[in-house]
Amino acid sequence: ATRLRFGYEAPRSDSQHVASERFKELLAAKTGNELQLQLFPEGTLGNAQALINGTRGGTIDLELSGSSNFSGLEPLLNVLDTPFTFKDEAHAYRFLDGEGGQKLLDALEKHNLKGLAYWDNGFRMITNTKRPVRTPDDVKGLKIRTTASAVHIEAFKLLGANPAPMPLAELYTALETGAMDAQEHPLGVLWSVKLYEVQKHLTLSRHAYSPLILVMNKPKFDSLPPAQQKAMIEAAREAGAYQRQLNAQNVAMIVEGVKKAGMQVVETIDPQPFARITAPARQFIINKFGGEDIFKQIDTVRDVP
Amino acid sequence: MTKGLEWMLIAMLSLMVLLVFGNVVLRYGFNSGITFSEEVSRFLFVWVTFLGSVLLLRDGGHLGVHILTGRLSPRGRRACRFTSDLLVFLCCALLTKGAWHQTMLSVDNHAPASGLSLAVVYSATLFCGVGMGVILLNSMYRLATGRMTDDELNPGDVEDAL
Amino acid sequence: MTIAVFVFSLCGAMAIGMPVAFALLVCGVALMVHLDMFDTQIIAQNLVLGADNFPLMAIPFFMLAGEIMNKGGISRQIVLVAEALVGHIRGGLGYVAIAAALVIASISGSAAADSAALAAVVIPMMRSAGYNVPRSAGLIASASAIAPILPPAMPLVLFGVAAQLSITKLFFTGIFPGLLMALSLVIAWKLTARKDFADAPPRRFEWRVLVSAVCGAVWALILPFVIIGGMKAGVFTPTEAAVVAAVYSLLVSCVIYRQLSLADLPGIILAAAKTASSIMLIVAASMVSAWLITIAEIPAQVTALMQPFMHDKTLLMFVLMVLVFAVGTALDLAPTVLILTPVLMPLVKEAGIDPYYFGIMFMMNNAIGLITPPVGTVLNIVSSVARVKLDHVITGMLPFLLAETLVMFLLVLFPELVTVPAQWLR
Ligand code: NA
Ligand code: NA
């Protein structure tokens, strides 16, 4: 039997860990225990960048992290982070699980990574300590922590906020002390890092969708017999579907939970004004990295059932 | 050579201070910030760590425990020092190999805020492995040929910062 | 078996005098071979992972601040205030040393910088006033051990990063235990040193002297409030607080006290960068062994070994504290923190011990390790700066070491003494 090291940053309480357990079971079942995963949650093998690097170099076999962590390697992935590109989860899944998504995974191959499947981080939501966010005006002047992704920074500049990238490890303290007013993350992160303890207002802004990408060291993948390769991809996708389902179930629970913890929640906003103001971000990405055809592909599956 | 590296180290730490302090001032004074401040200062920090370590090895300043070796005869101390230098040299050789691999691997990986290639970061360990290797070869040569004085053999008590 | 490979390779490499950072690498290589997963990339990758860390940048910044404060006359001004305030009491210079140590500790993040400054300024005063010098040197060494607990503190940054805890929370948890340590020193000084300063003539308290000392030191005395207040008010994060302390002390030293000129700066920056990198290389190297410790699942094995104590938090804390104390006699603070944190934290979490409480206790223990023979950095500094034989410093220090150790075990019995004040202060 082959033991494979699989690392990710999410804590044990997260759906990523639960689904990784499922992934491990599925893989063992499909290969008659020939492939066995050894799980390393909580970033014990390093942060996302270190995990990606380790997987490329082969010191780690598989890793799972947000797509934006790969955009330094493959700039086209910036397209996925562009605000208001995906209408809803179904739209995102249609694109990612289809031809377009596969093309993006394949683009990672030249970087020694075999993209196995897209898992789910969910839509990003804005939280802050200052005021309920309902319109773009409410975002103006907020010191907001974003990822270091160029398109996230650009979008919040367009909205008139002061975006600053900062490591997730420093975020809780920065929000607690007020060095930052606001942050934007999917609900799962808000919950597992307990950011609701240091934030007052949550807006279900759904301003950008964040997929997770599950990758494997390419030479390692190529060395597997075809039947095991097939099992690997199937198990990764099935576990991914399960994780998406878990996240969908968790949304209501997390919104209830943060309300109980004292957060004010704005559940619906009109996305139109936000989308209008941040629309130039799309051209910004195209000018910088290309990807016009990918945007087109995303748009064509927008309303297909 | 050493002087030049020392000035580089001074410049890097100064730049770190400017970037981080500048960011605080901009945030409070002007409600803005330097987007690449966090990233670039972090990369400088990696370089300060590994460049500083090479210079420190030259001064014999790395922290060690000398309760046991301190009680040995000068001969025994020389033998221990040689073994230690040899093992450290081997570590540096392994480090250099791994660092070369990682540096080459990260050439095409770019940092999000500054766009710098991550090879800039990994090459710090490459520099460290090679630089320390050279220092150790020199030290082993001087030990083997009896050119190292007893004074040099006793590493001074460096003021640990903590 | 894996634990044995870990312990023996690490201790063996250190025993032949190999610097700690490299001993950690040797240990990493030994573990790789043992686990049959030799790959040189693991070394390079984790060395970078260890150093590529924003919160840890507080280390060179605190280094720099400490270096500037000592060279720029700030430490001396603080001692003058303490002297004007409590110098007239019988045995007053002892209280001066403790008070000055507290103020300096709440500015600087490092015990070494503290002890160097205090020993240089206070020992000559005590010597000429006829105090028992070894006793005085011992007091100064133990008073300097407060610096790693009292915020801002580099060791807490180191621990916070290794254990993935909020550094600000750790800082505020450390305040009260740090003050308790100071109190224990006051009591020990009063009880044991009575006969030592019988000859020292008590001096008169003079308002005029106090006012003029405070005026002279006002810029230095503001600094703790700038740092702690700035963090509490959310003006900056702990890393930024460190850089603010460095820039502030630079301004005060150059512009107000005029003890530093720009020409002194490169030397100071170089010294700070080198000392910081000596710690950071250990940090980076410990990441290599920590990574392999994780792969080898050593924490789970240690938890299994500790199973007999797991049901009783107090008993477990007691066992852990004795263990850390033993390690601390022979190993310095930074390596102890970096080697033990990844091994102990999973255990502490599983036993349900408050990680912030554990962190402060662990750090207090490590701070005491700085003054326990045979390897005690602060002891060495005090002995060399005060020009007192190491053996004499150790003998002089014993009552104070005992006092601080008692405080530590008192806090093992009554964790509320740490957790309750922390709630008020946060
Ligand atoms: Na301190
Ligand atoms: Na010690």
Question: Are the beta carbons of B105 and A147 separated by less than 8 Å?
Answer: no
pLDDT band at B162 (very low <50, low <70, confident <90, very high): very low
Judged by CB atoms closer than 8 Å, whether chains meet at A148 and B27 is answered as: no
Classified as helix, coil or strand, C149 is: coil
Q: Does B147 touch chain C (CB under 8 A)?
A: no
C34 class by beta-carbon count within 10 Å (0-12 exposed, 13-18 middle, 19+ buried)? middle
**How many CA atoms, within 13 angstroms, populate the side-chain half-sphere of residue A210?**
27
* Residue B112 at interface with chain A, using a CB cutoff of 8 Å: yes
pLDDT above 60 (res A115): yes
**Does residue B10 lie in a domain region?**
no
- Minimum-distance CB partner of C44 among B66, B68, B98: B98
Cβ C10 vs Cβ C339: under 8 Å: yes
Residue A134 is which amino acid?
R
C225/A contact by beta carbon, under 8 A: no
Task: Give the closest-approach CA distance of A161 to chain B in angstroms.
Answer: 9
**Which pLDDT score is estimated for A229?**
96
pLDDT, greater one: C332 or B123: B123
What local confidence, expressed as pLDDT, does residue A305 receive? 63
Find out whether B37 and B23 touch, Cβ atoms under 8 Å: yes
> What does the alpha-carbon distance between residue B54 and residue B61 come to, in Å, rounded to a whole number?
10
Q: Are C165 and C355 a contacting pair, CB within 8 Å? A: yes
Average pLDDT of the residues of chain A: 91
C172-210 confidence digits (pLDDT tens): 899 999 999 999 999 999 888 776 665 555 667 888 888
Whether residues A149 and B35 touch (CB distance < 8 A) is answered with no
Q: What is the mean pLDDT of residues A261-273?
A: 93
Neighbours, chain C (3 or more CB pairs < 8 A) = A, B
**Bridge partners, A215 (sequence order):** A63, A115
A57–B27 CB contact, under 8 Å: no
Cα angle C404, C408, C411 (rounded to 5 degrees) comes to 140
What is the reported pLDDT for C168?
82
Least Cα distance to C358 among C368, C349, C367, C370 occurs for: C349
Give residues 166 to 195 of C whose Cβ lies within 8 Å of B: none
pLDDT at B87 over 60: yes
Q: Is residue B20 part of a domain?
A: no
User: Distance, CA C91 to ligand 1 centroid (Å)?
Assistant: 25
Cα–Cα dist A182/A80, whole Å: 22
From B101, B109, B113, residue closest to A73, measured CB to CB: B109
Length of chain B: 162
B21 within a domain of the structure (yes/no): no
Of C116, C330, C331, the CB nearest to B159: C116
Is the dihedral angle over the CA atoms A266, A272, A275, A280 positive or is it negative? Answer: negative
* pLDDT-derived band at A166, boundaries 50, 70, 90: confident
Q: Which residues of A touch C171 (CB under 8 A)?
A: none
Residue B139 domain flag? yes
CB-based contact (8 Å) between C354 and chain A? no
CA-atom Rg of chain C in angstroms: 22
> Which DSSP helix (H) or strand (E) runs through C273?
helix C265-295
Structure tokens at C335: 């390596």
| pLDDT at B156 exceeding the cut of 60 | no
Which other chains touch chain B, taking contact as 3+ CB pairs less than 8 Å apart?
A, C
Nearest CA in chain A to C49: A50
User: Is residue C270 a contact partner of residue B10, using CB atoms and an 8 Å limit?
Assistant: yes
Contact in structure between A62 and A273 (CB atoms under 8 Å): no
In a domain, B106, yes or no: yes
Residue B13 resides in a domain: no
Residues of chain A in contact with residue B38, where contact means CB-CB under 8 angstroms, are 148, 164-167
Out of C52, C60, C154, closest to residue B13 by CB: C60
Q: What's the rounded mean pLDDT across residues A34-59?
A: 89
Burial class of residue A135, CB neighbours in 10 A (0-12, 13-18, 19+): exposed
Predicted pLDDT of residue A144? 92
Positions of chain C with pLDDT lower than 70, given as ranges: 195-203, 426
Residue B125 belongs to a domain: yes
**Residue B74 CA to ligand 2 centre (angstroms):** 25
B97 at A interface, C-beta within 8 A: no
Q: Which of B7, B46, B67 sits opposite C375 (nearest CB)?
A: B67
Q: How far is the CA of C160 from the centre of ligand 1 (A)?
A: 15
Residues of chain B with Cβ-Cβ distance to A80 below 8 Å are none
| pLDDT exceeds 70 at position B111 | yes
Cα Rg of chain B, angstroms: 20
Query: In chain B, which among 81-120 make CB contacts under 8 A with chain C?
Result: 81, 83-84, 87-88, 91, 94-95, 97-99, 101-102
What pLDDT, on the 0 to 100 scale, is given for residue B119? Answer: 94
Decide if A5 touches C, using CB distance below 8 A.
yes
Report DSSP letters for C35-72, one per residue.
TT---HHHHHHHHHHHH--SGGGHHHHHHHHHHHHHHT
Q: Is the pLDDT of residue B161 over 50?
A: no
Number of structural domains chain B divides into: 1
pTM reported for the whole predicted model: 0.85
- Cα angle A112, A115, A117; round to 5: 165
User: Which of A163-172, B150-159, C30-39 is predicted with the least confidence, judged by mean pLDDT?
Assistant: B150-159
Q: What pLDDT shows up at residue B154?
A: 58
Q: Residue C45: name the closest of B107, B100, A220 by CA.
A: B100
SS3 C126: helix
At residue C200, the pLDDT reads: 56
CA distance C11 to C15: 6
CA C227 vs. chain centroid, Å, equals: 17
Is-contact C66 C110, C-beta < 8 A? yes
Residue A286 predicted with pLDDT over 60: yes
* C324-352 per-position pLDDT tens digit: 998 888 777 877 888 888 889 888 988 89
Distance (Å, whole) CA A4 – CA A63: 10
State the pLDDT at residue C261.
Answer: 86
Q: Which residues of B touch C281 (CB under 8 A)?
A: 49-50, 52-53, 56, 62
Q: Do C41 and A58 touch (CB under 8 A)?
A: yes
pLDDT in tens, A171-185: 887 788 777 899 999
Taking the CA atoms of chain A, what radius of gyration do you get in angstroms? 19
Q: What percent of chain A has pLDDT over 70?
A: 99
| B13, B64, B99: residue with CB nearest C19 | B64
Asked if A248 has any chain C CB less than 8 Å from its own CB, the reply is no
Whole-number Å distance, alpha carbon C330 to ligand 2 midpoint, is: 5
Per DSSP, the three-state class of C234 is coil
pLDDT above 50 for B158: no
Give chain A positions within 8 Å (CB) of C48.
50
Is residue B3 assigned to a domain? no
Q: Which helix (H) or strand (E) holds A145?
A: strand A143-146
Check if C332 contacts B (Cβ < 8 Å): yes
**Interchain CB distance below 8 Å, A111 and B109:** yes
Please give the average per-residue pLDDT across A253-261, as a whole number: 94
Higher pLDDT, A298 or C81: A298
Considering only the beta carbons, identify the residue of B38, B84, B95 that sits closest to C16.
Answer: B84
Q: Which of residues 120-139 of B touch C (CB under 8 A)?
A: 121-122, 124-126, 128-129
* A253-262 own/partner pairs: CB under 8 Å, 24+ apart: A254/A187, A254/A188, A254/A190, A254/A191, A255/A187, A255/A202, A255/A204, A257/A191, A257/A196, A258/A190, A258/A191, A258/A196, A258/A202, A261/A196, A261/A197, A262/A196, A262/A200
A225-233 long-range contacts, Cβ below 8 Å, gap at least 24? A227/A31, A228/A31, A228/A34, A228/A35, A231/A27, A231/A30, A231/A31, A231/A35, A232/A27, A232/A35, A232/A116, A233/A116, A233/A117
Q: Tally A–C CB contacts below 8 A.
A: 67
What is the model's pLDDT at position C213?
A: 84
3-state secondary structure of B112: coil
Residue linked to tokens 């030990």: B143
Out of A40, A54, A170, whose CB is closest to C237?
A170
Contacts of C16 in chain B (CB under 8 A): 68-69, 80, 83-84
CB count within 10 Å of CB C73 equals: 20
Q: Residue B85 belongs to what domain range?
A: 45-161
Cross-chain Cβ contact A173/C167 below 8 Å: yes
Over the stretch A118-143, which tens digit does the pLDDT of each residue have? 999 999 999 999 999 999 999 998 98
Strands A2-8 and A62-66: parallel
C234 and chain B in contact, CB less than 8 A: no
- CB count in 10 Å sphere of residue A256: 11
